[in-house]
Amino acid sequence: MARKGKATKGIEKAQPFEGISRVNPNAAGMDIGSVEIVASVNGAENTQLVRAFGNYTADLEHIGDWLSEHGVKTVAMESTGVYWIPIFETLENRGFECLLISSRSLRRVAGRKSDIEDAQWIQTLHSYGLLENSFRPQADLIALRTLLRHRGQLIEHRSPHIQHMQKALLQMNVQLSQAVSDITGVSGLRIITAIVNGEREPAKLGALREPGCKKSAEEIGRALTGTWREEHLFVLKQSFEMFVYYSEQIVDCDEEVERTYAGLRVDNDPGDLPPMSRRKRGSHSKNKPKQSDEIRAHLKRISGVDLSLVDGFGVSLSQTVLSEVGTDMSKFPSEKHFCSWLGLAPKHEISGGKVLKNRTLKTKNRAGQAFRMAAQSVKRSETVFGVKYRRMRARLGPAQATVAVAHAIARVVYRMLKYKVEYETISVEEYEKKYKAQQLKYVKKKAAGLGFALVPA
């Protein structure tokens, strides 16, 4: 029997071929630049009409008028930086079907390259249905996704200033990082604020610690005896002010996110949220939003399920995944398609019946990174995913184990969002029992294939 997808040797078989026909006769293609937009549409007698426009708002309206004059219904454009966003939103609001195309899908034969030829090439491929639209969540979640991405950038911009503060303190031999576990915690910020305001007495600085601090005030005071050089104090002051500024901006961003949540009109009733597990309640994530309970209720109202209950997830990761993926799972035919889009499934390259490559591609998918973070957070936990991670790590190593567990978590989230079912986990003992039964079934089948029969000891 021939392998699937492989011709049988020595057998000639006629396969029907109808040629290539135009799937989208009323299609247009666009090449978008920083100062110019080139559009191409079908003309008469196998010709293409090409026209260049500016990128001002009035020019975007002219593009819509020009496309309407030529009966265009669908437009394909390459995702070039952020230049595509204004024209995409303008044409979408005017009723055109817009497709955002990845640059991987537009590889062409080497030769001369120009904006006109690029627009014609995009229009040609789109006319024959050879382009695949990139995924975008529902329009209601676009604003939320923009704000959450901006919040993540604010956290990234704040991080270097924490390092600058720690470096300035170490250069003055002020061992604050040894006195407290986190220099941006309650005790650490109190001490840094006092230093910036001119306090140098170690005893007074040590007395600013929180009552729950592990080290005594005397020991902290000895660690805070430094040289107090002026140049390092100046660096510390400016870095601390930048840290405070970004922290305030993050708070303002959280308030805007809360207003965006309130503006989303969804009919799902969140109801009474089940209590979080003790392990999740005890987590102290510094970057999580302050209004976690309110955001959790909004996420349940939008999606219909509580993603924060999934092992490895929390409110922060839940809203990241929901804003990047959306709630409409019909765009992904199966779990395999979903995990492939996340970058959590290996890409098979087969030639001559042999697997040439079988590896997971590098991706910048934010949702995929969120699932990897969830897998990292459960690697020491007594959960099903934690047991799976430790078993996979012993066999494949930590990197592949992280991807495998992230893949398993993604399949759970896909089913929750598609079928609107809540997360229900099983005990580690039950999981181990099922895994043992699965392995026993496999060993029996393997032994039977070799002509042996297993006998229990």
Residue the block writes with tokens 């230093």:
195
Which alpha helices (H) appear in 282-397, and where do they start and end? 292-303, 315-325, 335-342, 366-377, 384-396
Instruction: Please report which helix (H) or strand (E) contains residue 251, including its range.
Output: helix 230-263
Residue 369 falls inside a structural domain: yes
Structural domain for 235, as ranges: 141-263
Does residue 399 share a domain with residue 329? yes
Structure confidence at residue 283 (pLDDT):
63
* Bridge partners, 347 (sequence order): 359
Residue 452 falls inside a structural domain: no
Residue 82 falls inside a structural domain: yes
Closest CA to 396 of 457, 434, 346: 346
The pair phi, psi for residue 217, each rounded to 5°, is -65, -35
Does residue 150 share a domain with residue 110? no
Residue 412 falls inside a structural domain: yes
Give the Cβ contact number of residue 434 at 10 Å: 12
Does residue 412 share a domain with residue 324? yes
Residue 311 falls inside a structural domain: yes
Give the Cβ contact number of residue 177 at 10 Å: 15
Does residue 302 share a domain with residue 259? no
- Contacting residues for 83 by C-beta, under 8 A, at least 6 apart: 32, 33, 34, 55
Residue 7 falls inside a structural domain: no
What long-range pairs does 17-26 form, CB within 8 A, spacing at least 24? Answer: 20/128, 21/128, 22/127, 22/128, 23/127, 23/128, 23/129, 24/73, 24/74, 24/126, 24/127, 24/128, 24/129, 25/127, 26/71, 26/72, 26/73, 26/74
Give the Cβ contact number of residue 32 at 10 Å: 23
Does residue 247 share a domain with residue 316? no
Q: Which residues of 217-229 are buried (b: 16+ CB within 10 A; e: fewer)?
A: beebbebbbbeee
Does residue 178 share a domain with residue 209? yes
pLDDT by position in tens, the chain (length 457): 445 555 555 566 666 656 677 888 899 999 999 899 999 999 887 889 999 999 999 999 999 999 999 999 999 998 878 899 999 999 999 999 999 998 777 766 566 678 888 899 999 999 988 888 888 888 788 999 999 999 999 999 999 999 999 999 999 999 998 888 889 988 899 999 999 999 999 888 888 888 878 888 888 888 898 889 999 999 999 999 999 999 999 999 999 999 999 888 776 666 677 777 766 665 667 788 878 888 888 899 898 899 999 999 988 999 999 999 998 898 899 999 999 999 998 887 888 778 778 788 778 889 999 999 999 999 998 999 999 999 999 999 999 999 999 999 999 999 999 999 999 888 889 999 999 999 999 999 999 999 998 888 7
Closest CA to 311 of 369, 368, 263, 381: 381
- Which of 263, 286, 303 lies at the terminal end of a domain, its last residue? 263
Whether 417 contacts 427, CB under 8 Å:
no
- Contacting residues for 40 by C-beta, under 8 A, at least 6 apart: 28, 29, 30, 48, 49, 50, 116, 119, 120, 122, 123
Domain count, the chain: 3
Quote the CA–CA distance of 90 and 101 in Å, as a whole number.
17
Residue the block writes with tokens 């949220």:
273
Instruction: Please report which helix (H) or strand (E) contains residue 78, including its range.
Output: strand 74-78
SS3 content of the chain, % helix, strand, coil (to 5): 55, 10, 40
Does residue 256 share a domain with residue 338? no
Quote the CA–CA distance of 192 and 176 in Å, as a whole number.
9
Quote the CA–CA distance of 274 and 422 in Å, as a whole number.
11
Quote the CA–CA distance of 87 and 29 in Å, as a whole number.
12
* Bridge partners, 100 (sequence order): 77
Does residue 238 share a domain with residue 170? yes
Structure confidence at residue 358 (pLDDT):
79
Structure confidence at residue 1 (pLDDT):
43
Residue 225 falls inside a structural domain: yes
- Which of 248, 263, 278 lies at the terminal end of a domain, its last residue? 263
Does residue 196 share a domain with residue 235? yes
Closest CA to 52 of 77, 69, 30: 30
Residue 210 falls inside a structural domain: yes
Which alpha helices (H) appear in 70-185, and where do they start and end? 84-93, 115-127, 139-171, 176-179
Does residue 47 share a domain with residue 82? yes
- Which of 127, 156, 178 lies at the terminal end of a domain, its last residue? 127
| CATH of residue 110 | 3.30.420.10
Does residue 194 share a domain with residue 103? no
Quote the CA–CA distance of 17 and 173 in Å, as a whole number.
78
The answer, as to whether pTM is greater than 0.85, is: no
Does residue 189 share a domain with residue 116? no
